[in-house]
Chain A
């Protein structure tokens, strides 16, 4: 079946512009995660949804970052007034279960969106 998809794959923004990154999780997956990966580093957690509820947003680096998943499927990560330090690959992952009983919950990743802020 189809995996996690993300769009756009590449985005170039001028400093100060707003951007929106989209994630389509695997159909029926309850949990959705966003991660940020700087060049040469491992991914770092940004935020987590269980269905439409945002249960953890502790990794969002500033109030310029906002994520939503209004119908419990597609998610959008929005970055307002982009800065050069926002340049990174943004990865989305989904997993089939929610928090309870999910000890073995494997995460499946999309291809990422590479954001470059000039």
Chain B
């Protein structure tokens, strides 16, 4: 059974820092991995989708990497801003269509 773990569970950093969020999964037979952002009381906003054949994806200040063989992904946020404060979720898709989510990293960026 696929299990997804995210560390740290919470992170508080001053504005301007570069930071790394970690996601690990137990079954390397995935089709893709998706990183989401969730603001309090809101739904999920897709940030990056990495196909199983890819090593990384970039969007603006965000860079996500995937090492499928070791069951790991990292989300790198450059020059963090208070507006980046949210919960970040990673999810993997295996040979079924459903996404398996981690429990998230709650990020606070203070001015």
A positions within 8 Å CB-CB of B: 4, 6, 31, 33, 35, 40-45, 48, 55-56, 59, 91, 93, 99, 102-112, 114
Contact = CB atoms under 8 A, between A and B. Distances in A.
A67 to B, nearest CB: 14
Contacts of B61: none
Interface residues of B, number: 26
Contacts of B100: 45
A43 B31 CA distance: 19
22 contacts: A33-B97, A33-B99, A41-B103, A42-B101, A42-B103, A43-B99, A45-B98, A45-B100, A93-B99, A99-B97, A103-B31, A103-B32, A103-B51, A104-B31, A104-B32, A105-B32, A106-B46, A107-B46, A107-B99, A109-B43, A111-B43, A114-B41
B49 A48 contact: no
B76 to A, nearest CB: 20
Contact of A45 (B36, B46, B99): B99
A109 B34 CA distance: 12
Given A43-B44, A93-B44, 7 more contacts: A31-B97, A42-B103, A45-B99, A91-B43, A93-B99, A106-B49, A107-B34
